[in-house]
Amino acid sequence: MVENNDVQDNIVIRQALKKDAETVFKMIRSLAKYHGEGAEFRATIEDVERDGFGELQKIGLCGLT
């Protein structure tokens, strides 16, 4: 639980844009690292751009700003 209300007041959830691909990629990679060596991570930034923001989106994304 966050006790600093200033932080909570500044969080905005919005639809991720293609320009957010690098941030999304880093978040996914960090999550895989958190889960340890058992979590294989082979995605590339190009995968995120194609599958998250391409013509045939395979994954739904949202972003935090």
Q: Looking at residue 55, what is its pLDDT?
A: 79
Residue ranges of the chain with pLDDT lower than 70?
1-8, 38, 57-65
In single-letter form, the type of residue at position 8 comes to: Q
Q: What are phi and psi of 64, to 5 degrees?
A: -115, 130
Domain layout of the chain by residue ranges: 12-64
**Angle formed at CA 9 by CA 5 and CA 11, multiple of 5 degrees:** 120
Structure tokens at 39: 């979590």
Please tell me the pTM assigned to this model. 0.66
- Predicted pLDDT of residue 46: 93
